[in-house]
Amino acid sequence: MKRIFILAAACLVAASASAQSIYTQDKNNVDMLRPTASHEVLRSEFVLPQVNGYKVLKSDLHAHTIYSDGNVTPEYRVREAWVDGLDVLAITEHIEYRPSEGKMISYLKGFFPGEPNKPNGNILTDLNVSNNLAIAAAAGYGITLIPGAEITRDQNKIGHYNALFVKDVNTIYDPDPAVSMKKAREQGALIMHNHPGWIRKNVDIIEFEEKVYGEGLIDGIEIMNGSEFYPPIVTRAFEKNFFMAANTDIHGTTTMDYVQQGHRRNMTFILAKDNSLESIKEALKARRTLAYSFGTLAGEEQLIKDFFMACVKFETFKVDANGKRTMRMINNTSMNFVLRFGGNPVELRPFTSRNVSVAKDAELSFTVENLWIPGEGKEAKHPVIKLKF
Ligand SMILES: [Zn+2]
Ligand SMILES: [Zn+2]
């Protein structure tokens, strides 16, 4: 009898183990139902539709780790990206600024008593380590990792530029930042102009930017970086034909900088055929991106309208005797939209619908106030959606 009991208990344990942490055991070997007692991480999905036949990949093209001045490892950065619902992550360490490195080297000196020059003489920093660790980690999560590097010079005179899709970070540095960019491009990299307004008085184009823009060295630009948003850059990106990006430039954790405050992290939406490096690069070259940050979305006018119309469906459910049509506007996505039909703005929140009416043969017209498109001069503006049913 005792034997049978033990066998039954063993079966129970096996069953609970296969139920993946739903049950835990106390020290008396009693199973307790504790569904929340798990360290398994869950992914927060950000649901978006296909747009113009393309997948909308959620990416962050700017992130740091301990291998430059970030606080976490590349492996943590990848896991965090997965948890945040990203499909694509670029690791972009500062090439010229690596504060942890110096601390480690002076520590190593102590290991070779009597031979003070040996460690320094033998140490050659490998600037590809961070990308390589992240690539290996990303494979375990199905995330596409773009190897990158940040060319980091005086922000007021030169600026910061991310080289994306690099092959060897060790060979990019040159005292002349434009030469650094050219070296990166020779590896097949795309260059993104980072945080153009950060710590500057304004976002006017400076001499160096004029030069590298003119030489065709720039492919993309950050409209948003962290909590900063530069509306005039929406128009500049359109005029110069740069892809528009919204990135975190995360150094700490997205939990502290975004999630704890109730926000999603910044994302560059990339409209790509699939999540291969090749397709992502093709999409960036074709400028099929939208910049998402703190509920605000920026992009080229037609693309952002196509995105809106893919997110929001209109279903007529009543036409009265006068031909007045009443429709349900359905938003089955994670996007929030702020609509203005003339009066006060109203929200079309994620996974909700609202009803709208339009008179016979009239146009339904409204602006989407959390979307930004290129305007005149330095101004950005909101798109106007006009629909005829
Ligand atoms: Zn920077
Ligand atoms: Zn950065």
User: Which of the residue ranges 17-26, 144-153, 240-249, 348-357 would you say has the lowest mean pLDDT?
Assistant: 17-26
Q: What per-residue confidence (pLDDT) applies to 234?
A: 97
Verify that 136 and 229 share a domain, yes or no.
Answer: yes
Residue 235 reports pLDDT greater than 80: yes
Separation between Cα atoms, residue 286 and residue 281, nearest integer Å: 9
Q: What per-residue confidence (pLDDT) applies to 115?
A: 57
Cα–ligand 1 centroid distance for 94 (angstroms): 8
Verify that 236 and 137 share a domain, yes or no.
Answer: yes
Verify that 11 and 149 share a domain, yes or no.
Answer: no
Neighbours of ion ligand 2 (CB under 5 A): 150, 249
Domain presence at residue 50: no
Q: How many domains does the chain have?
A: 3
Cα–ligand 2 centroid distance for 194 (angstroms): 8
Residue 65 reports pLDDT greater than 70: yes
Domain presence at residue 44: no
Residue 18 reports pLDDT greater than 50: no
Closest ligand by atom to 159 CA = 1
Cα–ligand 2 centroid distance for 174 (angstroms): 18
Residue 26 reports pLDDT greater than 80: no
Q: What per-residue confidence (pLDDT) applies to 17?
A: 42
Cα–ligand 2 centroid distance for 196 (angstroms): 12
* Phi-psi map region of 12: left, alpha, beta (phi>0 left; psi -120 to 50 alpha): alpha
Using the 3D structure, point to which of 278, 299, 320 is the last residue of a domain. Answer: 299
User: Which of the residue ranges 8-17, 251-260, 262-271, 299-308 would you say has the lowest mean pLDDT?
Assistant: 8-17
Cα–ligand 1 centroid distance for 30 (angstroms): 54
pLDDT-derived band of residue 189, with 50, 70 and 90 as boundaries? very high
Q: Mean pLDDT, to the nearest integer, of 97-114?
A: 67
Closest ligand by atom to 69 CA = 2
Verify that 80 and 212 share a domain, yes or no.
Answer: yes
Cα–ligand 1 centroid distance for 186 (angstroms): 22
Closest ligand by atom to 250 CA = 2
Domain presence at residue 10: yes
Residue 15 reports pLDDT greater than 60: no
Cα–ligand 2 centroid distance for 152 (angstroms): 8
Verify that 103 and 22 share a domain, yes or no.
Answer: no
Verify that 91 and 209 share a domain, yes or no.
Answer: yes
pLDDT-derived band of residue 108, with 50, 70 and 90 as boundaries? low
Residue 107 reports pLDDT greater than 90: no
Tokens 């113009």, residue located: 52
Domain presence at residue 145: yes
Domain presence at residue 146: yes
Domain presence at residue 49: no
Residue 61 reports pLDDT greater than 60: yes
Using the 3D structure, point to which of 272, 299, 326 is the last residue of a domain. Answer: 299
Cα–ligand 2 centroid distance for 205 (angstroms): 20
Cα–ligand 1 centroid distance for 100 (angstroms): 17
Contact present, 351 and 332 (Cβ < 8 Å)? yes
Q: What is the mean pLDDT of the chain?
A: 90
Cα–ligand 1 centroid distance for 192 (angstroms): 11
What DSSP assignment string belongs to 197-256? TTTSS--PPPHHHHHHHHTT---EEEEEETTEE-HHHHHHHHHHT-EEEEE--BSS-HHH
pLDDT-derived band of residue 109, with 50, 70 and 90 as boundaries? low
- Burial (CB count within 10 angstroms: exposed 0-12, middle 13-18, buried 19+), residue 76: middle
Q: What per-residue confidence (pLDDT) applies to 7?
A: 43
Terminal C-alpha separation, the chain: 76
pLDDT-derived band of residue 1, with 50, 70 and 90 as boundaries? very low
Contact present, 368 and 308 (Cβ < 8 Å)? yes
Q: What per-residue confidence (pLDDT) applies to 24?
A: 66
Domain presence at residue 99: yes
Cα–ligand 2 centroid distance for 236 (angstroms): 21
Residue 369 reports pLDDT greater than 70: yes
Cα–ligand 1 centroid distance for 106 (angstroms): 26
Cα–ligand 2 centroid distance for 161 (angstroms): 9
- 32 vs 289 pLDDT, higher one: 289
Closest ligand by atom to 196 CA = 1
- CATH code where residue 316 lies: 2.60.40
pLDDT-derived band of residue 4, with 50, 70 and 90 as boundaries? very low
Verify that 295 and 315 share a domain, yes or no.
Answer: no
Verify that 17 and 104 share a domain, yes or no.
Answer: no
Helices (H), the chain: 2-18, 74-83, 99-109, 118-122, 129-139, 177-186, 207-214, 231-240, 254-257, 277-285, 301-311
Verify that 269 and 165 share a domain, yes or no.
Answer: yes
Cα–ligand 2 centroid distance for 63 (angstroms): 6
User: Which of the residue ranges 15-19, 267-271, 296-300 would you say has the lowest mean pLDDT?
Assistant: 15-19
Contact present, 87 and 144 (Cβ < 8 Å)? yes
Q: What per-residue confidence (pLDDT) applies to 21?
A: 54
Verify that 261 and 350 share a domain, yes or no.
Answer: no
User: Quick one: what percent of the chain has pLDDT higher than 90?
Assistant: 80
Residue 16 reports pLDDT greater than 50: no
Verify that 223 and 247 share a domain, yes or no.
Answer: yes
Range of the domain at 360: 311-388
Domain presence at residue 135: yes
Cα–ligand 1 centroid distance for 65 (angstroms): 13
Residue 180 reports pLDDT greater than 80: yes
Q: Mean pLDDT, to the nearest integer, of 97-125?
A: 63
Cα–ligand 2 centroid distance for 64 (angstroms): 6
Q: What per-residue confidence (pLDDT) applies to 27?
A: 73
Closest ligand by atom to 194 CA = 1
Q: What per-residue confidence (pLDDT) applies to 111?
A: 55
Q: What is the pLDDT of residues 119-154, one digit of tens each?
A: 444 556 899 999 999 999 999 999 999 999 999 999
Verify that 276 and 318 share a domain, yes or no.
Answer: no
